[in-house]
């Protein structure tokens, strides 16, 4: 597949790395010559220096015969114009754009991105995606990560194994005996920052971060199996009223009407604007790190503190202050991956990385046709995928034992009609089945081949 990526920032670089490692023909455009040189030297991609919204720059990047354009520059307008030119002048089949300015995404302007006006096939809004990701974590207390799958009939959850986890030291193959009838499968483990695809003999250690998939009706029992039986927070303090903070508070007001939300925002004008958009929340104007403001926000009674300012350091420190006041759970927005090793040692419960979430959203659209849903598990490890078995798939008509699964792939659950089952060695597959599985990045391309489709499928 030939792909042109506009923007060599963190998101553009991550996407280029993933796609190039899967033997796609990737070209990256950016005005910053140093960024273009860096990605060209470190990855098997071609670099073009220039403004991505100019037709001659796009042409130099090979847009004329490209299968896809991914526009993720820092300027929404450049992303939109690049997609328009890719459509109008070069007839590119698939165009994806990152749009951050929320005014463009207002429902009253829904026709703006129609094929007749500004033809963008898929729009990614990091602020909306991050707000939804945090809200899902609020719905499952104790979870590090929550991703709905299979039309909300299954869910992938990340949890941390604490000292009181009842299955520490237990071989995974014994979980079926310990929890009979529990529709749950462990897909991946992050241990000391390193990803592990578990075998049936694997045992969990204290501190492991585990990703499992289960039927939604089994979620509560699955969380209890890992020692997580926390109750949902009823009093929340949100630090930072930017686009992410505003979207998050709106999500909370809609999805959790009984929750009391207080928000702290340093800029007085922004605080006034947000106050007008959040009728059920209390907005306080002040410094997040000011003890008086935290006390005014009634931090001592809060059960969850969420820091989503634009400053990673402020998010870190404010979470530590919240812990000092007795807040049970803290969630911090972290952009710099260099801080990742500090999260556990500082006592922050959940870190949310906008780049990983945005890349997952974009890759989901890149893998269209074979993959219905996708979520990245640690940036350099792998992906949880929801795939459909088609008549042309090599799995159709076979059982797991008869299938030749590549190394680094672990099947989780199978959905057939209304039935959900945990995949075992004798589980069979027919056309129309949906599977939730984990694949390391080295195995993703092989997984796509397993679920290959005819050209007329598109």
Cα separations in angstroms, 124 against 181, 218, 322: 39, 31, 32
**How far apart, in Å, do the first and last CA atoms of the chain sit?**
15
Beta strands 382-388 and 350-352, pairing class: unpaired
Q: Which residue has the higher pLDDT, 269 or 457?
A: 269
What's the pLDDT at 305?
Answer: 97
What's the pLDDT at 394?
Answer: 83
pLDDT exceeds cutoff 60 at 277 = yes
- Tens of pLDDT, residue by residue over 344-361, are 778 889 999 998 899 988
What's the pLDDT at 393?
Answer: 83
What's the pLDDT at 416?
Answer: 93
What's the pLDDT at 451?
Answer: 78
pLDDT exceeds cutoff 50 at 251 = yes
Quick one: pLDDT band at residue 124, thresholds 50, 70, 90?
very high
What's the pLDDT at 336?
Answer: 82
Backbone angles phi, psi at 231, to 5 degrees: -90, 155
What's the pLDDT at 454?
Answer: 41
Q: Which residue has the higher pLDDT, 228 or 344?
A: 228
d(CA 26, CA 160): 36
Q: Which residue has the higher pLDDT, 435 or 372?
A: 435
Quick one: pLDDT band at residue 458, thresholds 50, 70, 90?
very low
Q: What share of the chain is helix, strand, coil (3-state, %, to 5)?
A: 35, 25, 35
Mean pLDDT of 89-102: 94
337: β partners:
none
d(CA 389, CA 433): 5
* Neighbour tally for 325: CB within 10 Å: 17
Beta strands 154-160 and 209-215, pairing class: antiparallel
Q: Which residues of 198-217 are buried (b: 16+ CB within 10 A; e: fewer)?
A: beeebebeeebbbbbbbbee
SS3 assignment, position 379: coil
What's the pLDDT at 367?
Answer: 72
DSSP string for 68-117:
EEEE--S-HHHHHHHHHHHHHTT--SEEEEE---GGGG-GGGGGGGSTTT
- pLDDT, mean over the chain: 91
The answer to whether the CB of 45 falls within 8 A of the CB of 20 is: yes
d(CA 190, CA 196): 6
- Tens of pLDDT, residue by residue over 139-188, are 999 999 999 999 899 999 999 999 999 999 999 989 888 888 889 999 99
188: β partners:
211
pLDDT exceeds cutoff 80 at 43 = yes
The answer to whether the CB of 76 falls within 8 A of the CB of 48 is: no
d(CA 234, CA 47): 50
The answer to whether the CB of 62 falls within 8 A of the CB of 4 is: yes
What's the pLDDT at 111?
Answer: 83
pLDDT exceeds cutoff 70 at 113 = yes
pLDDT exceeds cutoff 50 at 455 = no
Percent of the chain whose pLDDT exceeds 70: 98
- Tens of pLDDT, residue by residue over 288-337, are 999 999 999 999 999 999 999 999 999 999 999 999 999 999 999 998 87
Beta strands 46-49 and 329-333, pairing class: unpaired
Mean pLDDT of 35-57: 95
């Amino acid at each position: 597949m030939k792909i042109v990526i506009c923007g060599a920032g963190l998101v553009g670089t991550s996407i280029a790395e993933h796609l190039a490692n899967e033997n796609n023909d990737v070209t990256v455009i950016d005005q910053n010559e140093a960024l273009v040189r860096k990605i060209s030297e470190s990855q098997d991609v071609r670099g073009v220096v220039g403004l991505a919204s100019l037709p001659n720059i796009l042409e130099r990047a090979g847009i004329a015969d490209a299968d896809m354009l991914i526009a993720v520059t820092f300027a929404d307008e450049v992303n939109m114009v690049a997609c328009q030119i890719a459509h109008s002048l070069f007839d590119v089949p698939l165009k994806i754009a990152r749009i951050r300015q929320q005014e463009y995404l207002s429902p009253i302007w829904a026709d703006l991105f129609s094929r007749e006006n500004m033809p963008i096939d898929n729009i990614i809004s990091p602020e909306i995606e991050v707000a939804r990701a945090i809200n899902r974590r609020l719905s499952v207390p104790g979870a590090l990560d929550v991703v709905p799958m299979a039309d909300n009939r299954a869910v992938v959850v990340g949890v941390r194994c604490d000292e009181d986890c009842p299955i520490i030291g237990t071989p995974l193959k014994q979980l079926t005996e310990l929890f009979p009838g529990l529709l749950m499968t462990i897909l991946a483990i992050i241990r000391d920052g390193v990803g592990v695809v578990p075998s049936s003999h694997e045992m969990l250690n204290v501190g492991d971060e585990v990703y499992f998939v289960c039927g939604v009706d089994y979620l509560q029992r699955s969380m209890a199996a890992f020692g997580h039986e926390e109750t949902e927070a009823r009093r929340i303090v949100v630090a930072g009223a930017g686009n992410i903070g505003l979207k998050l508070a709106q999500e909370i007001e809609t999805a959790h009407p009984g929750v009391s939300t207080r928000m702290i925002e340093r800029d007085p004008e922004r605080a006034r604007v947000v106050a007008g958009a959040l009728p059920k929340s209390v907005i306080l104007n002040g410094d997040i790190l000011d003890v008086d403001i935290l006390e005014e926000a009634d931090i001592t009674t809060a059960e969850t503190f969420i820091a989503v300012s634009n400053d990673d350091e402020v998010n870190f420190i404010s979470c530590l202050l919240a812990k000092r006041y007795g807040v049970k759970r803290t969630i911090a927005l972290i952009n710099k991956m260099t801080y990742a090793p500090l999260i556990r040692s500082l006592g922050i419960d959940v870190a949310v990385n906008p780049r990983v979430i945005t890349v997952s959203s974009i890759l989901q659209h890149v893998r269209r046709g074979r993959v219905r849903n996708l979520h990245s598990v640690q940036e350099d490890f792998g992906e949880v995928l929801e795939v459909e078995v088609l008549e042309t798939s090599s799995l159709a008509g076979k059982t797991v034992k008869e299938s030749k699964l590549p190394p680094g792939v672990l099947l989780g659950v199978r959905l057939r009609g209304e039935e959900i089952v945990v995949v075992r060695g004798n589980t069979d597959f027919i056309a129309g089945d949906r599977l939730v599985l984990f694949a390391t990045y080295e195995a993703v391309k092989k997984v796509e081949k397993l679920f290959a489709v005819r050209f007329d499928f598109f």
